[in-house]
Amino acid sequence: MKSPADLQYSPKYWIWTGAHTSSTQAELKSLYQGLKSHGITGVFFGDGIQPKEFDAIKSAGLELHSWIWTTNRWDPWIREHHPDWYMVNRLGESCFDHPPYVDYYRWVSPVIPGFVRYMQEQVEEIACHHAIDGIHLDYVRYPDIVLPRALWSKYNVDETEELPQYDYCYSSHTRSAFKHKFGRDPMDIKNPASDQEWLHFRYDSVTNLVKSLHESARHHNKQLTAAVFPTPRLARKMVRQDWDKWPLDAACPMIYNGFYNKPVEWIGEMVLENIQTVTFPIYCGLYMPDLEKDQDFAKAIQLAKLRGAAGVSLFGSVSDAAWATFEQNRW
C-alpha cells in the first residue's frame, strides 16, 4: 500500500554535512557517490561556498542546499557594528555578552529591519551560486524558552514555567516596535507566557523574516527549506516558531525522540501531526545517536513512511550497519 507521501511527492532523502577540507577531489567524489549509492538524494551543506566540494556533490547527482544559521548569528560584522541587534531577556541580559545555555547561543532579533536586510543579502550572495539548488534555514527562531525535557538535567533547569532569563526579546528595538503596534511595553506584561498579542508578535517576527528570505531565494529561482522543531504546536511553545505559516518548499522537523525522553513510536505521531497541519513536504529529521539500534532506526523510517512523510533527513554519523538498514527500509 502506498503512503500518503507517495501519492503527492517523490521520496527524497537528505543528510546534513559540512566541508571536508582535508579530502582530495577523488576522496570527495567517492564520498558523495557513496551517499548517492546508499539512496541519499540531497545534502544540506553547512560551510558556505566550497567549489571543490560542490563539484563533487553535483557530479554525484545530489541536490545541494546551503545550510545557514539564521537568527543565531555570531558574525564579526554584526558584533562590531550592531551589538544592539542581539536579543535581550526579561532580566535585561543581552545575548551579546550573556548567551543562554551555551556560548554559541548569540541570537539576533528578527524584528529589526536592518537585520532582515542583512540576512537577505546573505541569502542572495549564496543563492546566486550556480551549483546551489536551495537555501536551508536553521536556528530560525527565538532561544529555547523551554528546552526538550531530556536536557533539563544537563542545564540544571526546571522549565515547567517560563523563566525570565530564557524569555526573549526585550531589547529596546523590539519593545519599541511592539509598543508602536499595541500601545504598551512588553516589560509591563504581567504574564508574558499567556499574553496573546506578545506571543503572536514574536511568532510573526520570525514568519516575516522567513517570508523575506523566501523572496530572496525565489529571486534566484532557488528553493527554501528549513530545519524546525518537531511540530508547529511544540515549536510555538518552545521557541516561538510558527513554522506552519512559512512559505517553504519543504520542512525537516527535528523529531529527535531521545531529546524528549520519548520512544521511537513518538516519531510517527509527530510526523502525522505535521502532515495534518501543513501542505508542503515533510522530511522527518532523525538524530542518529538516538537510533543506534538497527531495529529502532528501521522502525523510525517505517513510521515516517506510514504516517505520510515524503522522506527522511539524517543528522549525525551513519555506520555501515545503519546504511544497510536505511537501504532496506527507504521507499
- Is the preceding peptide bond at 284 cis, omega within 30 degrees of 0? no
pTM, two decimals, is 0.96
Rounded CA-CA distance 130/74 in Å is 27
C-alpha cell at 115: 537585520
Residue 4 confidence (pLDDT): 43
What is the model's pLDDT at position 9? 78
Query: Could you count the other beta carbons within 10 Å of the beta carbon of residue 76?
Result: 7
The CA distance from 230 to 232, in Å, is 7
Q: Quote the distance between the C-alpha of residue 55 and its chain's center.
A: 25
Distance from the first to the final alpha carbon of the chain: 11
CB 96 within 8 A of CB 87: no
| pLDDT at residue 231 in the model | 98
Residue 6: its pLDDT value, please? 46
φ/ψ of 22, rounded to 5, equals -90, 0
Residues linked to residue 12 through DSSP beta bridges, in sequence order: 311
Q: Is 302 exposed, middle or buried (0-12, 13-18, 19+ CB in 10 A)?
A: middle
Please give the backbone phi and psi of residue 31, each rounded to the nearest 5 degrees, phi first. -60, -50
Q: Per-residue pLDDT tens for 134-173?
A: 999 999 999 999 999 999 999 999 999 999 999 999 999 9
Q: Which parts of the chain have pLDDT scores under 50?
A: 1-6
| CA dihedral angle for residue 240, residue 245, residue 247, residue 248, rounded to 10 degrees | 70
Q: Show the 3-state SS of the chain.
A: CCCHHHHHCCCEEEEEECCCCCCCHHHHHHHHHHHHHHCCCEEEECCCCCHHHHHHHHHCCCEEEEEEECCECCCHHHHHHCHHHECEECCCCECCCCCCCCCCCCEECCCCHHHHHHHHHHHHHHHCCCCCCEEEEECCCCCCCCCCHHHCCCCCCCCCCCCHHHCECCCHHHHHHHHHHHCCCHHHCCCCCCCHHHHHHHHHHHHHHHHHHHHHHHHCCCEEEEEECCCHHHHHHHHCCCHHHCCCCEEEEECCHHHHCCCCHHHHHHHHHHHCCCCCCEEEEEEHHHHCCHHHHHHHHHHHHHCCCCEEEEECCCCHHHHHHHHHHCC
Q: What is the pLDDT of residues 27-37, one digit of tens each?
A: 999 999 999 99
Q: Which pLDDT does position 267 carry in this prediction?
A: 98
Residue with cell 560584522: 77
Q: Are 119 and 230 a contacting pair, CB within 8 Å? A: no
